[in-house]
Amino acid sequence: MILFLISHIIYNVFNIYKFIIKDLAQYKELNTEFKKIKDAHSEYVTRENEREKKIKKVNSNTELSEEEKEKIIEEAQEEFNQFEYGFFKWGMAQDMVIK
């Protein structure tokens, strides 16, 4: 009888251990996905801020003509648009999909 109880306790402890290990693996996987999302968001915000800084710098430059300013701003916007398109089509946004 005692052996039966001990074996039953060991069996239950083993099952609890399996659930803990499974939960830990899921936690690690979700944490990895969260880090990817965080890194992707950081990269996106950095690129967006770079574009804004470039536009502000151009607008405050009194030596440039309006046409030159417009051209530089359009180039900065186009550069960001290309990054953004790639970001959501092929890049980091694909890493953000949680399975």
Residue 60 CB contacts under 8 Å (≥ 6 apart), including other chains: none
User: What digits encode the pLDDT tens for the residues 24-61?
Assistant: 888 899 989 899 889 989 999 999 999 999 999 999 99
Q: Which two three-digit tokens encode residue 67?
A: 């046409």
pLDDT above 70: residue 73? yes
pTM beyond 0.85: the answer is no
Which of the pair, 91 or 36, is modelled with greater confidence? 36
Residue 95 confidence (pLDDT) above 70: no
Q: What is the mean pLDDT of the chain?
A: 87
